[in-house]
Amino acid sequence: MEKILIFVETKGEEVKKASLELLSEGITLAGTGRFAIEAVALGPLAQKVKERLLPYVETLIQITDPLLETYAPEAYAQALAAYAREAGARMILAGATQMGRDFLPRAAVILECGIASDVTAARWLDDPVTFVRPMYGGKVLAEVSFAGSPFLVTTRPNTFGVVKPEGAGGRLVERQAGLSADQVRTKVLRLEEKARERVELTEADLIVSGGRGLKAAENFKVLEELAEVIGATVGATRSVVDAKWRDQEDQVGKSGKTVSPKLYIAAGISGAIHHIMGMDTSKVVLAVNKDANAIIFNYADYGIVGDLFEVIPAMTAEFKKRLGR
């Protein structure tokens, strides 16, 4: 059987969605009898997280070390690569989150192997196994495979579905990484995290984004209200971020984040290619714009030509009514 390692990214009592997606794929793959799946977590794990993860796998490997207490790319790469080598893993999978994309390339160098980053589709059972990844901001897709093994793959959040397995599941195996202090030269002085009630943009199922058509920073409250009612995350275009109406973290597009929600509502967004590159893998796109010729309508499934300050509040009211919120 071929061994697949799935790196599990956690944050406090939460497991990153991209990790749960891969674990869900893992259940299907284990079912074929061709693959043995292990989840690998680095550093401390909350009890709740362990209980959440174990139903997905036969084995959850928790690798601990004083140097893995906070994220450090050198330590993470070293610990994961060392275990992958020892376990004789054929594939090492992780979510294409900021963290996954930050340290997996280092692990590839340690293992002297290839990596496919930000993959959006996989054909696990093909020989060789193939993956699809967007290039040129999504204008082209590339089907890729590897010349040898092991290999590493990071998958974009919202690529696969998440299942919720029943039962107590597998066992937890704790291991020490045995890293030495000179292997880690970065030190996190502090984390500045926004008190966010909302899901991170890259993981969100529902996104409401605004552009220049919002006219002023304070008008984003119209989108905030809609987002609040349906549980969406608010995004923004480059021009409103450059105008300091919204934070850099909220930017969707080439120089911001790439998102793949189930529903993307684009309000007052003209549809510059830079923005399209960040949201074109959304499942359903609804655009609201006063200008019937706005380019965004070429990239939308549904469009309303109208004033967003009339349409969006009316949608908020209707969602409220239908959802009973």
**Three-state secondary structure call for residue 281:** coil
Q: Is 191 in the site for another protein (CB under 8 A)?
A: yes
* Interacting residue with another protein among 7, 56, 103, 160 (CB under 8 A): 103
Nearer to another protein, 27 or 254 (CB): 254
Q: How many CB atoms lie within 10 A of CB 46?
A: 14
The whole-angstrom separation of Cα 37 and Cα 287 is 41
Give the residue from 23, 69, 20 showing the smallest Cα distance to 42.
69
Nearer to another protein, 40 or 113 (CB): 113
Residues 41-70 that bind another protein (CB under 8 A): none
Q: Is 207 in the site for another protein (CB under 8 A)?
A: no
Phi, psi of 109 (to 5 degrees): -65, -40
* Interacting residue with another protein among 58, 102, 225, 228 (CB under 8 A): 102
Residues 302-321 that bind another protein (CB under 8 A): 302-307, 310-312, 314-315, 317-319
Q: Residues 15, 95: contact at Cβ < 8 Å? A: no
Q: Is 225 in the site for another protein (CB under 8 A)?
A: no
Residues 11-40 that bind another protein (CB under 8 A): 11, 16
CB of 285 vs another protein, minimal distance in Å? 7
Q: How many CB atoms lie within 10 A of CB 201?
A: 24
The CA-atom distances, in angstroms, between 160 and each of 20, 31, 257, 283 are 9, 17, 19, 13
CB of 35 vs another protein, minimal distance in Å? 21
Give the residue from 294, 308, 325, 295 showing the smallest Cα distance to 265.
308
Angle at 322 between CA 316 and CA 325, to 5 degrees: 70
Burial class (CB in 10 A: 0-12, 13-18, 19+), 97: buried
Q: Is 127 in the site for another protein (CB under 8 A)?
A: no
Residues 270-309 that bind another protein (CB under 8 A): 273-274, 277, 280-281, 283-287, 297-307
Nearer to another protein, 164 or 187 (CB): 187
* Interacting residue with another protein among 151, 160, 220, 245 (CB under 8 A): 151
CB of 36 vs another protein, minimal distance in Å? 23
* Interacting residue with another protein among 105, 170, 175, 239 (CB under 8 A): 105
Q: Is 168 in the site for another protein (CB under 8 A)?
A: no
